[in-house]
Amino acid sequence: ALDGDASGDVDIDELSAAWRTWFGGAIRPVRCLVIIDVQNDFIDGTLALKNCPAGEDGAVVVPVINQMRAEYEFDYTAISLDWHPERHCSFWECARAGDFPAPLHPSQDAARVREAELFDDVTLTAPDGKSPMKQTLWPRHCVRNTWGAACHKDLVVREGDIIVHKGTDPGIDSYSCVFDNGKYKDTGLLEKLRKRGVTHVYLCGLATDVCVAFSALHMAEAGFVTTVVMDGCAGVDRSQIEQRCALMVEGGVQLVYSRELRSLM
């Protein structure tokens, strides 16, 4: 009955039995809340979003995220942490000091890098040794094992939460919690989610137009049903937020508000 060239040939009971055999149980969504970079430096530290162009306060996402955890039953929760070494290619201070831990691309004027302003872009050589790779220069932030890299004190973290570190390589940045910016290496998160049978991911955190957007795009591309909870996010720059939201929608990501989850889950 499954070989039908006419739709009437498909036997739904038989089809559903086949799925049950494959999966060993009833088919249901397996949901993971993914909390991106709710770290002190993005809230009260060196890269505080409230001092960025959009003027959004990173702290407002904390109660929204905690409330989601309390109200909805996610099977899993993953927490990503921007986790940089002391010298990192995204640090403006390293660029200014001429102590840059990544090779510049031949097209990049080295003198320009030493005079770069905060948030300027520079062009680095990718880990393949030849491709140009754009890098924004941020103030030094989220240095591993420092206060700035720690989660906001009020964020609920439970035993069993999946913790994923990103941006650990000095020579390449990683906005996404899935792949680095050049897609050379993955963080290991995909494998952890797949091992647990996760089908649906719900993203929130910081920053909407940077790490949340890139993570959501990679997750949708990897085949997860991907939702971003907008009131659980705060961003850097208004026009960037708009552009990246459009890009996410184009990439199949659903953008919602936390109160809508009740009807979606």
Q: Interface with ligand VGL includes 37 (CB under 6 A)?
A: yes
Q: Looking at 41, 56, 82, 180, which residue binds Zn ion (CB under 5 A)?
A: 82
Q: Total number of residues binding ligand VGL (CB under 6 A)?
A: 8
Long-range contacts of 51-54 (CB under 8 A, 24+ apart): 52/207, 52/235, 52/236, 52/237, 53/236, 53/237, 53/238, 54/234, 54/235, 54/236, 54/237, 54/238, 54/241
Q: How far is the CB of 214 from ligand VGL (least distance, A)?
A: 8
Q: How far is the CB of 236 from ligand VGL (least distance, A)?
A: 7
Q: How far is the CB of 142 from Zn ion (least distance, A)?
A: 5
Question: Residue 31's beta-bridge partner residues?
Answer: 200
- For Zn ion, the closer of residues 172 and 198 by Cβ is 172
Strand ranges in the chain using DSSP code E only, listed in sequence order? 31-36, 76-82, 121-125, 132-136, 162-166, 200-206, 225-234, 254-256
Residues in Cβ contact with 30 at an 8 Å cutoff, skipping those fewer than 6 apart = 75, 76, 196, 197, 198, 199, 200
Q: Interface with ligand VGL includes 211 (CB under 6 A)?
A: yes
- For ligand VGL, the closer of residues 66 and 136 by Cβ is 136
Q: Looking at 126, 206, 216, 228, which residue binds ligand VGL (CB under 6 A)?
A: 206
Choices 12-20, 76-84, 148-156, 201-209; region in contact with Zn ion by CB under 5 A: 76-84
Sites for Zn ion among residues 163-192 (CB under 5 A): 167
d(CA 165, CA 144): 9
What type of residue is 251?
Answer: G
Binding partner of residue 210 among Zn ion, ligand VGL, none, CB cut-off 5 to 8 Å per kind: ligand VGL
- Return the residue matching tokens 């907008």: 230
Which residues bind to ligand VGL, rule: CB under 6 A?
37, 82, 90, 138, 206-207, 210-211
